[in-house]
């Protein structure tokens, strides 16, 4: 412990002169925080921060974001290095355990995940209850939550061993369930996982393989898929991760907690944006209409927003968007394809980044702006895009949940500024 005096922040009520000293806590990087935990007890006031724009809800060692500089680190490693030099299984191990795995650790981890990829055969019956045209995110919410009805073993959330088994099961089974959601939507038979394939290749096999052919997933597409998973793995205390932490803080079943995260991610302001970007680009249709849509996005009376643009934290380029843009070129070249949407997206980005409205508000492309173009080129239907985001983010959600459960802070229970009626006498029906 250092002998340095505790740094404090003095808060004074200008009307009454009441004041209190609040501790300032320093992290290892990024802004310090003012510890207001004793504020209500000392001064009888709550803090007020709807949307948590200026609130640190927890301490965490998993992911660091510098929004002004456009920096993203996982356990101290830059996302650029992880995307270029690591793979998704290593990033999963890193997020769960805090260090990149050694060769032996990686081999054991991959084998553990591989041998959890199958789902209980009765899970198939769940799909029979869905309409074929159900949105796959609706299916993911339902089926992932239903895993809590299948796993009664190892669900003691206070046991480190059980928490790790739940984490392994979720990371392993998400691709299987996601592929099943796709297969069900197009009337093709489910494909079983193959233990001889890597994580991303296995997902492509279960999604695009058919029993009638013994095709092998394209290794370069599998590498691109793996990189996309890395870019979506974790992202600090975003809406869906905060949902997972809040849901998990009550001691809820881990499968149900991840289903809550999936539900939150689905929204177009969050993970649903990748699907919305493609719909927006298709609606714009041609470069000649870009200015019309940019004008709509700037109109305060129009609810339309440029999907894939802007971010609560990044006020510079989202580093993931840069990597995604490069990957889009690679995948389209590999596929020998050209997608007019890519040129449209590039022109839209150029026009927006030269427009004062976006420049003043520091609105840049985010992770969702280019991802849909790659996924479309790889053969995924638009409504599967957020499912892929949920799959990749599962390791982030479950690692954040694990970190919280290792250092529990009690149930998340915010307070409020009450704006309703003061107490008033009840009025019987005849007198209303």
Residues carrying an active site annotation: 270, 311, 368
Torsion of CA 336, 337, 338, 342, to 10 degrees: -110
Q: Closest CB to ligand SDX among 44 and 50?
A: 50
For the bound state, the minimum distance from the C-beta of residue 374 to ligand SDX, rounded and expressed in Å, comes to: 16
Supply 253's token pair.
């079943």
Q: Output the smallest distance, CB 13 to ligand SDX, in A.
A: 29
Among 183, 311, 341, 376, binds ligand SDX (CB under 6 A): 311
Out of 97, 106, 194, 305, which residue is the one contacting ligand SDX (CB under 6 A)? 305
How many Å apart are CA 367 and CA 373, to the nearest integer? 12
- 72 close to 313: Cβ distance less than 8 angstroms: no
Which is nearest to 329 in space by CA: 271, 373, 283? 373
* Cβ-contact 10, 19 below 8 angstroms: yes
Instruction: Indicate the helix (H) or strand (E) that contains 214.
Output: none
Q: Please state the closest distance from residue 247 (CB atom) to ligand SDX, in A.
A: 16
Question: Toward ligand SDX, which CB reaches closer, 70 or 308?
Answer: 308
x/- string (CB under 6 A) for ligand SDX, residues 246-265?
A: --------------------
Does 368 engage in binding with ligand SDX (CB under 6 A)? yes
Largest CA distance in the chain: 79
Query: How many helices and strands in the chain, by DSSP H and E?
Result: 18, 6
Nearer to ligand SDX, 81 or 299 (CB): 299
Q: Which is nearer to ligand SDX, 79 or 171 (CB)?
A: 79
In whole angstroms, the minimum distance from the beta carbon of 400 to ligand SDX comes to 11
What residues between 132 and 161 interact with ligand SDX by CB under 6 A? none
Question: How many residues in the shown chain lie near ligand SDX by CB under 6 A?
Answer: 22
Is residue 295 at the binding interface for ligand SDX, with CB under 6 A as the rule? no
116-145 burial string, b = 16+ CB within 10 Å, else e? bbebeeebeebbeebeeebbbbbbbbbbbb
Contact at 8 Å (CB) between 123 and 150? yes
Q: Is 72 helix (H, G, I), strand (E, B) or coil?
A: strand
Q: Applying CB under 6 A, does 322 fall inside the site for ligand SDX?
A: no
Answer yes or no: are the C-beta atoms of 331 and 379 closer than 8 Å: no
Residue placing its CB nearer to ligand SDX in the complex, 23 or 268:
268
Residue with smaller CB distance to ligand SDX, 190 or 357: 357
297 binds ligand SDX (CB under 6 A): yes
Q: Which residues are within 8 A (CB) of 10 and not within 5 positions of it... i.e. 6 or more apart? A: 19, 20, 21, 22
Cα gap 246→404, rounded to integer Å: 10
Q: Is 62 in the site for ligand SDX (CB under 6 A)?
A: no
Q: Smallest gap, in angstroms, from Cβ of residue 271 to ligand SDX?
A: 6
With vertex at residue 391, the alpha carbon angle to CA 108 and CA 192, rounded to the nearest 5 degrees, is 70
Single out the segment in contact with ligand SDX by CB under 6 A; choices: 96-104, 116-124, 297-305, 328-336.
Answer: 297-305
How far, in Å, CA of 49 to CA of 38, rounded? 17
Tell me, what DSSP letter sits at residue 311?
-
Nearer to ligand SDX, 51 or 425 (CB): 51
> Out of 202, 253, 366, 386, which residue is the one contacting ligand SDX (CB under 6 A)?
366
Residues 189-248 touching ligand SDX, rule: CB under 6 A, are 235, 238
Helix (H, G, I), strand (E, B) or coil at 218: coil
Q: Is 367 in the site for ligand SDX (CB under 6 A)?
A: yes
The site for ligand SDX (CB under 6 A) is made up of: 235, 238, 269-271, 273, 297, 300, 305-313, 361, 363, 366-368
């Amino acid at each position: 412990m250092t002998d340095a005096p505790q740094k404090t922040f003095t808060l004074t009520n200008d009307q009454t002169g009441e004041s209190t000293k609040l501790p300032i806590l320093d992290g290892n990087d990024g802004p310090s925080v003012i510890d207001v935990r004793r504020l209500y007890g000392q001064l009888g006031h709550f803090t007020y921060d709807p949307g948590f724009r200026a609130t640190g809800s927890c301490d965490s060692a998993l992911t660091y974001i510098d929004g002004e500089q456009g920096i993203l680190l996982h356990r101290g490693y830059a996302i650029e290095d992880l995307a270029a030099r690591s793979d998704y299984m290593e990033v999963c191990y890193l997020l769960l355990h805090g260090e990149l795995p050694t060769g032996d650790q990686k081999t054991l981890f991959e084998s553990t995940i591989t041998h959890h990829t199958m789902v209980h055969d009765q899970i198939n019956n769940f799909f029979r209850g869905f309409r074929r045209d159900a949105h796959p995110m609706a299916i993911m919410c339902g089926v992932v939550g239903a895993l809590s009805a299948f796993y009664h073993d190892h669900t003691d959330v206070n046991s480190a061993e059980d928490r790790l088994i739940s984490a392994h099961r979720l990371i392993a089974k998400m691709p299987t369930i996601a592929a099943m959601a796709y297969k069900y939507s197009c009337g093709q038979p489910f494909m079983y996982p193959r233990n001889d394939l890597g994580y991303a290749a296995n997902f492509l096999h279960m999604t695009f393989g058919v029993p009638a052919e013994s095709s092998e997933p394209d290794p370069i597409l599998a590498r691109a898929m793996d990189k996309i998973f890395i870019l979506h793995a974790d992202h600090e205390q975003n809406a869906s991760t905060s949902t997972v932490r809040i849901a998990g803080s009550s001691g809820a079943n881990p499968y149900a907690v991840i289903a809550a995260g999936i539900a939150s991610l689905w929204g177009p302001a969050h993970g649903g944006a990748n699907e919305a970007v493609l719909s927006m680009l298709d609606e714009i249709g041609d470069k000649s209409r870009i200015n019309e849509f940019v004008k709509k996005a700037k109109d305060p009376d129009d609810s339309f927003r440029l999907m894939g643009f802007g971010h609560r934290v990044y006020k510079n380029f989202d580093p993931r968007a840069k990597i995604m843009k490069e990957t889009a070129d690679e995948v389209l070249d590999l596929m020998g394809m050209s997608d007019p949407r890519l040129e449209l997206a590039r022109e839209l980005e150029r026009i927006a980044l030269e427009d004062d409205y976006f420049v003043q508000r520091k609105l840049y492309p985010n992770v969702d702006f280019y991802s849909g173009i790659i996924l479309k080129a790889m053969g995924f239907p638009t409504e599967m895009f957020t499912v892929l985001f949920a799959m990749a983010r599962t390791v982030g959600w479950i690692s954040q949940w694990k970190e919280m459960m290792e250092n529990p802070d009690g149930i998340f229970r915010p307070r409020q500024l009450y704006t309703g009626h003061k107490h008033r006498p009840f009025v019987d029906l005849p007198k209303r």
